[in-house]
A and B are shown apart, each in its own frame.
Chain A
Amino acid sequence: MKKRVVATGLALGAAAVLAGSMVQGQANVITIGGYDGQTDTALVSELIAKFVKPKLAADGVDVKYVPTADFGTSIVTQLSAGTAPDLFYLEDFAAKGLIASGKILPLNGLVNSKDFLPSLNNIFSSGGKQYGIAKDFNTLVLYYNKDLFDQAKVAYPDDNDNWNDFATKTTAVQKALGKGYTGTCFPAEYSRFGAFAASTGWKPIQGGRTVLDSNFKRAFKFYTDLVKSGVAVKPGQINAGWGGDCMKSGKVATAFEGGWALGFLRDQAPNLKYGTTLLPRDPQTNKRGNLIYTVAWAIHSGTKNKAAAVKVLNALTSVEAQQFVLRGGLALPSRISLQDDPYLGGAGVENIAFRNVFRGASEGNAVSFAPDKFGNAWFRGIDEALNSTMDGQKTVDQAVREAQAAVNKVMGK
């Protein structure tokens, strides 16, 4: 009896493993790969149920979301082994590298990419071919804690501020409120600092090269000086992980984050009174900069059912699906036609924030966060330079020189 139970158990286990691996690669099941997190799993599952399944029901095709924990790593191995899902997230910073692998289906003639923002299409195109359709996008906005500015009797940051105004205002708040309060959070990361560098007119990659020029250095000095003066802190210094944590603490006057911080603040700091505005301008160019972050839907070139996969992609990026995501306050649509959706005209805090995120992409010098085909190794040298300068271990000149050497090495120059 015992033997039979064990044998049955083993057989069932083996069957489950086999069944799981067989879902991928079946012509009548379209699998979708993405992040394994509460938000993504819930959202994509809802999109599938509401907008995708009804359109594919007649074809007898089922659609399944198969999220993975370390998505960026697993999609590389899955594509290499030929076991990738039919449809998956294509992250902006990894796009050019994965496109070069030849494992992503060109969408020309299959999907009408003209309906989507050209600046986003560019990030997922190569050699005149379109390989992904942006599912949404984000930029940075300046979050500020209204209560702290009110208590300190300092005017809120606004769209007209330049770096100096920003520094003056945050310094004033910090001085007025005293010990334990901080003007802003500046992570030692290109993913935030890059917006300041872009406002000087500096271009991350031009003609296949990255030159950390005098403009870059000017922004670098402003960003690190504010930390050295104590007005700004790295999130880790106040035991926060990122800008959202800084705002949540209620002791930091401002932070630079994208629309992704809205849901976090809604859940984690429901009583926080905050506002958002556009990023401060560079006083020399009088322009503001920004980083555009985006993730696309792409199709595995080895999909067994190309027609169905394209249908799923179209359904996921349809007007209704993107409108649903936008009105849920989750992300900005990549469709041109939705850029003047009534939601973006609303007067609520989150509506205004989304409007600012949206304006961030088109005002001044907004550049893509994606470092061409060089992946996130490209950021590392700059991140380390920011960190060592903020910690007072290196001078701006020394750190920028070393960052240039690191970036050159990554780019093979």
Chain B
Amino acid sequence: MNARTRENLTAFWFLLPFLIGLVVFFLFAFLRTIWYSFTNYNLFDKSDWVGLQNYADVFKDSLFIQALINTFTFAILTTLIQTVGALLLAIVMNQKLRGIGFFRTAYYFPSIASSAVTTLIFIWLFRPTGLISYLSTTFVNYLPLLLTGLAIVIVVQALQVAFERSRGLPASPFDPALLVVSLLVAVIGTIVLNAGGVVRVGSADPTPLLWLSTSDRLFGFISYPILMIILMNSFTTMPTLMLTFLAGLQGIPQSVYEAASIDGASPIQQIRFVTIPILRPVTFYVISIGIIGTLQMFDQAALLGGTSPLDTVVTLAFYVYHNVFSGGAESRVGLASAAAILLAVITLVLLQIQRRFLSDEGVNQ
């Protein structure tokens, strides 16, 4: 046995435990799913070969089409929000400030909580008379006061700036010292107007927030429960991705920024032309795991499934589950398998597109 073979064999032995897991839990399951997708298996009876029937049926099922729309909406929006958010957060967390360690820890917290717990907290926040409903009603009730205050700030600031300029002094419209005076006048003015009964706080009762039970859609395609899950998922995933970006950021030498600065690049330009291009491999990774994770989203949809109309929360993964465990009705394993295979194909296609989009050179750096 020569040295090379021996080396290969050693590598193989090290890989073996993982390979066994892969063959049993992935390859076997995947091949079986492919097989089931061509049969009418229902968990109990002998199954018959039905060819492409399940694939045809899946596309005729309006719930599947809905699941497709929800999944794409969710995957694209969530990946976008969490990637941009994580990058911005990482840039902020990369500053050399006192006590930045505390903030890094604090911002990482949402990622530690289990998604089931976070979902329950969000259901609680978004329930008809929950905190969100209360805060939005309070905001609407205080809106007249806020608007009055804002109007006073604008008027007083304009008067002050005009006065300063009339004296030949260079006053900017956003001069901080003048703004403080304007704000003080606005606060006192608003309190006086409110006491005098000119401006009143609204007395609207909290309007029940129907996000979780409505079948209405924002812009005609984003269902409100999905919107809530998008917010929640971005909130919990952003910190993990932030950490990845932060690691990437810390690998960028300070000298690059110094050089950019000497060339006259503003902080925004530095991010645009230095940070983002250098972080491209990290961004590729972040978007990839974002897409894979969001396309397979199941837990939040399943937890909300009980409170929200099915077609507003159904995702491809939930559709698969819903058809296998159909609450007492016959399981449609064939149909569910076809949907699962389609989900896998969609994931692969999206990753390939994304790979093209982010260009190979960036990825292979």
Tell me the minimal C-beta distance from B259 to chain A in angstroms: 54
B210 surroundings in chain A (CB, below 8 A): 391, 393
B299 lies within 8 A of chain A by Cβ: no
A residues 362-393 in Cβ contact with B at 8 Å: 371, 373-378, 380, 384, 387-388, 391, 393
Question: Is B331 a contact of A76 with CB atoms below 8 Å?
Answer: yes
A96 surroundings in chain B (CB, below 8 A): 328
Question: Is A236 a contact of B329 with CB atoms below 8 Å?
Answer: no
Whose C-beta in chain B lies nearest to the C-beta of A385? B309
Question: Is A387 a contact of B309 with CB atoms below 8 Å?
Answer: yes
Question: In the bound complex, how far is the Cα of B331 from the Cα of A73, in angstroms?
Answer: 11
A98 lies within 8 A of chain B by Cβ: yes
B331 surroundings in chain A (CB, below 8 A): 76
B215 lies within 8 A of chain A by Cβ: yes
User: Most chain-B CB neighbours within 10 Å: which of A76, A77, A100, A237?
Assistant: A76
Q: List 30 A-B contacts (CB under 8 A).
A: A72-B327, A72-B328, A76-B43, A76-B325, A76-B331, A79-B43, A80-B43, A80-B44, A91-B328, A95-B328, A97-B329, A97-B330, A98-B328, A100-B330, A101-B43, A234-B128, A236-B127, A236-B307, A237-B129, A239-B129, A373-B329, A374-B328, A374-B329, A375-B328, A387-B309, A388-B213, A388-B214, A388-B215, A393-B214, A393-B216
Whose C-beta in chain A lies nearest to the C-beta of B213? A387
List the count of A-B residue pairs having beta carbons below 8 Å apart: 79
Whose C-beta in chain B lies nearest to the C-beta of A379? B327
Question: Is B215 a contact of A384 with CB atoms below 8 Å?
Answer: yes
Question: Is B214 a contact of A375 with CB atoms below 8 Å?
Answer: no
Question: Is A377 a contact of B327 with CB atoms below 8 Å?
Answer: yes
A93 lies within 8 A of chain B by Cβ: yes
A188 surroundings in chain B (CB, below 8 A): 213
A103 lies within 8 A of chain B by Cβ: yes
Question: Is A376 a contact of B129 with CB atoms below 8 Å?
Answer: no
A91 surroundings in chain B (CB, below 8 A): 328
Question: In the bound complex, how far is the Cα of B333 from the Cα of A77, in angstroms?
Answer: 12
B214 surroundings in chain A (CB, below 8 A): 388, 391, 393
B328 surroundings in chain A (CB, below 8 A): 72, 91, 93-98, 371, 373-376
* 7 nearest A-B residue pairs (beta carbon): A375-B328, A375-B329, A94-B328, A376-B327, A101-B44, A80-B43, A375-B327
B residues 221-265 in Cβ contact with A at 8 Å: none
B95 lies within 8 A of chain A by Cβ: no
Question: In the bound complex, how far is the Cα of B344 from the Cα of A143, in angstroms?
Answer: 51
Question: In the bound complex, how far is the Cα of B210 from the Cα of A193, in angstroms?
Answer: 21
B277 lies within 8 A of chain A by Cβ: no
B327 surroundings in chain A (CB, below 8 A): 72, 93-94, 375-377
Question: Is B309 a contact of A384 with CB atoms below 8 Å?
Answer: yes
Tell me the minimal C-beta distance from A304 to chain B in angstroms: 20
User: Most chain-A CB neighbours within 10 Å: which of B45, B128, B130, B327?
Assistant: B327
Question: Is B44 a contact of A103 with CB atoms below 8 Å?
Answer: yes
Tell me the minimal C-beta distance from A31 to chain B in angstroms: 20
A94 surroundings in chain B (CB, below 8 A): 327-328
Whose C-beta in chain A lies nearest to the C-beta of B124? A239
A238 lies within 8 A of chain B by Cβ: yes
A348 lies within 8 A of chain B by Cβ: no
Question: Is A237 a contact of B44 with CB atoms below 8 Å?
Answer: no
Question: Is A377 a contact of B326 with CB atoms below 8 Å?
Answer: yes
Tell me the minimal C-beta distance from A113 to chain B in angstroms: 22
A236 surroundings in chain B (CB, below 8 A): 127-128, 213, 307
Tell me the minimal C-beta distance from A17 to chain B in angstroms: 16
B173 lies within 8 A of chain A by Cβ: no
Question: Is B329 a contact of A237 with CB atoms below 8 Å?
Answer: no
A residues 143-198 in Cβ contact with B at 8 Å: 188
B326 surroundings in chain A (CB, below 8 A): 375, 377
Whose C-beta in chain B lies nearest to the C-beta of A371? B328
Question: In the bound complex, how far is the Cα of B249 from the Cα of A207, in angstroms?
Answer: 68
Contact string against B for A residues 379-413, beta-carbon threshold 8 Å, 1 for contact and 0 otherwise: 01000100110010100000000000000001000
Residues on A facing B (Cβ under 8 Å)? 72-73, 76-77, 79-80, 91, 93-98, 100-103, 188, 234, 236-239, 371, 373-378, 380, 384, 387-388, 391, 393, 410
A376 surroundings in chain B (CB, below 8 A): 327-329
B309 surroundings in chain A (CB, below 8 A): 384, 387-388
Tell me the minimal C-beta distance from B98 to chain A in angstroms: 42
Tell me the minimal C-beta distance from A147 to chain B in angstroms: 24
B208 lies within 8 A of chain A by Cβ: yes
Tell me the minimal C-beta distance from B88 to chain A in angstroms: 35
B279 surroundings in chain A (CB, below 8 A): none
Question: In the bound complex, how far is the Cα of B309 from the Cα of A224, in angstroms?
Answer: 17
Partner of A377 from the list B130, B216, B329 (CB cut-off 8 Å) is B329
Whose C-beta in chain B lies nearest to the C-beta of A102? B44
B215 surroundings in chain A (CB, below 8 A): 384, 388, 393
Tell me the minimal C-beta distance from B153 to chain A in angstroms: 37
Contact string against A for B residues 7-40, beta-carbon threshold 8 Å, 1 for contact and 0 otherwise: 0000000000000000000000000000000000
Also in contact, A410 and B44, with CB within 8 A (given A236-B128, A237-B129): no
15 further contact pairs, Cβ within 8 A, besides A97-B328, A101-B45: A80-B43, A93-B327, A95-B328, A98-B328, A102-B44, A103-B44, A374-B329, A375-B326, A375-B329, A377-B326, A378-B329, A384-B310, A387-B213, A388-B213, A393-B210
A378 surroundings in chain B (CB, below 8 A): 329
Question: Is B128 a contact of A237 with CB atoms below 8 Å?
Answer: yes
Tell me the minimal C-beta distance from A255 to chain B in angstroms: 18
A102 surroundings in chain B (CB, below 8 A): 44-45
Contact string against A for B residues 316-335, beta-carbon threshold 8 Å, 1 for contact and 0 otherwise: 00000000011111110000
Question: In the bound complex, how far is the Cα of B330 from the Cα of A102, in angstroms?
Answer: 12
Tell me the minimal C-beta distance from B205 to chain A in angstroms: 9
A103 surroundings in chain B (CB, below 8 A): 44
Question: Is A391 a contact of B44 with CB atoms below 8 Å?
Answer: no
A388 surroundings in chain B (CB, below 8 A): 213-215, 309
Whose C-beta in chain A lies nearest to the C-beta of B205? A179
A380 surroundings in chain B (CB, below 8 A): 310
Tell me the minimal C-beta distance from B209 to chain A in angstroms: 10
B208 surroundings in chain A (CB, below 8 A): 237
Question: In the bound complex, how far is the Cα of B300 from the Cα of A361, in angstroms?
Answer: 38
Question: Is A239 a contact of B127 with CB atoms below 8 Å?
Answer: yes
Question: In the bound complex, how far is the Cα of B128 from the Cα of A93, in angstroms?
Answer: 30
B45 surroundings in chain A (CB, below 8 A): 101-102
Tell me the minimal C-beta distance from A230 to chain B in angstroms: 11
Tell me the minimal C-beta distance from A13 to chain B in angstroms: 16
Whose C-beta in chain B lies nearest to the C-beta of A373? B329
Question: In the bound complex, how far is the Cα of B330 from the Cα of A374, in angstroms?
Answer: 8
B310 surroundings in chain A (CB, below 8 A): 380, 384
Tell me the minimal C-beta distance from B281 to chain A in angstroms: 39
Tell me the minimal C-beta distance from B23 to chain A in angstroms: 20
Tell me the minimal C-beta distance from A179 to chain B in angstroms: 9
Whose C-beta in chain B lies nearest to the C-beta of A93? B328
Tell me the minimal C-beta distance from B283 to chain A in angstroms: 39
Tell me the minimal C-beta distance from B113 to chain A in angstroms: 21
